[in-house]
Structure 1
Amino acid sequence: MHRHRTAVRLALLTLLAGALVPMGAAPAVATPGCLDETLPPGPVPALPLSDGCDDSTPPETTLTASTTPNAAGFLAASTMTFTVGAQVSDGDTGPFGLECTLAGPGQAHDWRACTSPVTYAGLPDGSYAFRARAVDLGDTALDPDSPLAPGTVADTPDLDPTPARLTWTQDSAAPFVFVTSTAYDEQTPTQPVVTSGSMPIRINSSEPGSTFECRDNGRAIPCTGGRFELATPGAGRHRFTARSVDRAGNASAWSEPVEFYVPTDLRRQRGWRTVRGDGYFRGAALRATRRGARLVLPRATVGELRLLASTGRGFGTVRLRVGKRDWHVVSLAGRTAAMKEITVLDRYSGVRAGRIVIESLTDRPVVVDAVVARSNRFPSAQ
């Protein structure tokens, strides 16, 4: 009996020795290119003496976000949902899993198992980075290298080495816009008369980097922040409003309107000729040198009437009226000025309607430029 046991032991040792790699042989390594990492069977169960096959093609990760940041990397949504998936190019059937991580001011976490879709709700504003990677669950716990074979190499990672990534800055708060007018009118401060070639307005936002949208009498116009010049506004009443849009696309409320009024330029009629100069409203005025020369303007409802005219030594006199009401005489003699603003009817004189008539009363020269003929409805002082 003792001799029989000894023979069995010697046979087993001989079998094991024959399977071992000779000391001078080349190092054994796992063969790449397989779809899984199953170890090869050995002469003794659970003791493989040669390397198996390494699945050296890890899965790749697909990522789609519910909201895409704009070109500047901003978005306004406080809830983000990510659709994550795994795809392979070698026919591996898996099974596959997912791992995710989030960096940011809220709900941040390190790598952990996740399932698609991945949703983060109620995120506070700030900067975020979401990453996801696919994992080959069938291979991640296996090592195709035999622990008994010399010269083995490290197992190829069984997860995506280049995780899918999305970074963004969340801004869900709307900015504030500030609009102020630099025009001044002592008589009507809430609706100043503007006689310059443009209307200066200052526009600012509570958030740096914001853009602006502007409207003049409800019509969209291009504008910029800071000191803005509304060039050559048309005659009549204007209501200018603006709003700011931050880098995430949040828009402020429209500002309270800035109101102003632009005079009506006079057009040449019989008995008058055009004179030009930089000092005149819109660069031109009308001159008459004979008594009775008239300018007749279209019918209007007038609660305030101002005349823009030149004054100087030797200048004559004009008179104005609205409809069939009384004439109002204005002398243009005096200190030389290319354009002087003369109030003919103030805002407290009552409302009258009809054609506006301007008439020269002397043969002395008179130069008239424009008129302000508007109702006496004004916004309240801020």
Structure 2
Amino acid sequence: MQRHRIATRLGVLALLGGGLVPLAAAPAGASPGCVDETAPGILQNGCDDSTPPETTLTPSTTPNAAGLVTVSSMTFTLAWQVSDGDPGPFGLECRLTGGPQAHDWRACTSPVTYADLPDAAAGTYVLEARAVDTGDRARTPDTSPALPPTVPDTPDEDPTPATFTWGQDTTAPFVFVTGTSYDETTPTQPVVTGAGVPIRINSSEPGSRFECTDNDLPVACAGGRWELPDPAAGRHRFSARTIDAAGNASAWSEPIEFFVPRNLTRQRGWKKVTDPGYFRGDAVKASRRGARLVLPRTTVGELRLLASAGPRHGKVRVRVGRRDWHVVNLSGPRTAMKQLVVIDRYSGLRTGRIVIESLSAKPVVLDAVVARPNRFPAATRDSGR
């Protein structure tokens, strides 16, 4: 940027000794590079400091990639910079756009704070700050009483104010999680026999993302109707939360519970059979009396069999540990998979291996087993998550 001192070359007349004597042109002014607008001499135009100070602005909080912050108070550190040795004095002016605290240019000091700002639901906030050469602003370079004005007075404030734009969202969204699996026998802990578990997840704020856990382990998920793919056998507790564009996170949802059966695999006396209607696409089949399936030791309060039924199908008997046998008749209308409650959830707990035995040479097709306690521990979540 350039500073210049302009000396006029106009001829003037002066009255000396009672006579009119023509004078030479006024002496040239100082060399270009003035740093202030000092008063000119009688036969000189003034000096215009045409290089205003520059402005820096640093916010207390940096917006995220969406341009949003989650705080309602913003503090800004402001400063001016000069490169020509101008001693000043200098000052600062600020202008805020957006919200009820908006104001036009006015003097401000660093740091400047705007507190209790409401969320900018309809747009964004914009703060502009400019440094001002307050010493030069009050002066005009053309003040010679004997010369016509020839020096323009350029602005004495930063013509390119430092600008900061941000959006604000301090309100956490709400998450809504609904399990859509149906189980008439245990509606609050349904048995799920599909390839995936259908769950509906929604947020109170459009555009929010979701975080989900299954048995407290993170799983990828999506909003709307979504399915947890290929869940492992056993009890599941699913929970979710939503995070809006600003980064505000909702509380974790109350867990929804469901249970996935244990798929049966071939043992001695049984062979594998396949059908799209079976749980996981396969089952085991026996056609001789005394063929046994033995499952690992477990605690059972409710026991169900998923089995294929048919007019010529036989019977099996089931027990847990050393307790009584329970006979299950698989004869009936043909169906690929049918849920049969062997021990209901009100019969008390028992512990031991589950033994299933064929009672005749008639074919029996067994698909999966539901073996779970009839009292479920409370689903809890670490409050610090």
> TM-score with structure 2 length normalisation?
0.87
Amino acid at match of 2:37: E
Give the direction of change, closer, same or farther, for the CA distance of 1:272–1:90 in structure 2 (3 Å limit). farther
Give the direction of change, closer, same or farther, for the CA distance of 1:29–1:263 in structure 2 (3 Å limit). farther
Structure 2 counterpart of 1:45:
none
Structure 1 residue runs of 5 or longer lacking an equivalent are: 1-7, 22-27, 43-48
Structure 1 counterpart of 2:40:
40
Q: 2:210 aligns with which of 206, 209, 212?
A: 212
Structure 2 counterpart of 1:71:
65
Conserved 8 A contact 2:47-2:151: no
Q: Which secondary structure does the structure 1 equivalent of 2:104 belong to?
A: strand
Conserved 8 A contact 2:320-2:355: yes
Amino acid at match of 2:209: T
Structure 2 counterpart of 1:61:
55
Shift of 1:30: 11
Q: 1:156 aligns with which of 154, 166, 177?
A: 154
Q: 1:183 aligns with which of 172, 181, 184?
A: 181
Give the direction of change, closer, same or farther, for the CA distance of 1:359–1:130 in structure 2 (3 Å limit). same
Structure 2 counterpart of 1:103:
97
Q: Distance in 1 between matches of 2:135 and 2:280?
A: 82
Shift of 1:325: 1.1
Amino acid at match of 2:194: S
For each residue in 1:299-326, what CA deviation from the matched residue of structure 2 results, as whole angstroms up to 9, or x when unmatched?
1111100001111232222111111111
Q: Which secondary structure does the structure 1 equivalent of 2:280 belong to?
A: helix
Aligned residues: 361
Conserved 8 A contact 2:196-2:229: yes
Q: Which secondary structure does the structure 2 equivalent of 1:51 belong to?
A: coil
Please give the root-mean-square deviation of Cα atoms over the aligned residues, in Å. 2.5
Structure 1 counterpart of 2:260:
262
Structure 1 counterpart of 2:291:
293
Amino acid at match of 1:143: T
- Equivalence map 1:1-382=2 (5 Å): 9=15, 14=20, 33-42=33-42, 49-126=43-120, 127-146=124-143, 149-150=147-148, 152-378=150-376
> TM-score with structure 1 length normalisation?
0.88
Structure 2 residue runs of 5 or longer lacking an equivalent are: 1-13, 379-385
Q: Distance in 2 between matches of 1:183 and 1:203?
A: 14
Q: Which secondary structure does the structure 2 equivalent of 1:370 belong to?
A: strand
For each residue in 1:56-98, what CA deviation from the matched residue of structure 2 results, as whole angstroms up to 9, or x when unmatched?
2221111111111111111110111000111123333322211
Moved more, 98-107 or 231-240: 98-107
Moved more, 148-157 or 64-73: 148-157
Structure 2 counterpart of 1:4:
none
Conserved 8 A contact 1:309-1:369: yes
Amino acid at match of 1:115: T
Q: Distance in 2 between matches of 1:350 and 1:114?
A: 76
Q: Distance in 2 between matches of 1:76 and 1:106?
A: 18
Shift of 1:29: 12
Give the direction of change, closer, same or farther, for the CA distance of 1:30–1:162 in structure 2 (3 Å limit). farther
Q: Distance in 2 between matches of 1:13 and 1:253?
A: 96
**% of aligned pairs identical?**
67
Amino acid at match of 1:109: H
Shift of 1:195: 0.4
Shift of 1:291: 1.5
Amino acid at match of 1:282: R
Q: Which secondary structure does the structure 2 equivalent of 1:229 belong to?
A: strand
Shift of 1:149: 4.4
Q: Distance in 2 between matches of 1:347 and 1:13?
A: 129
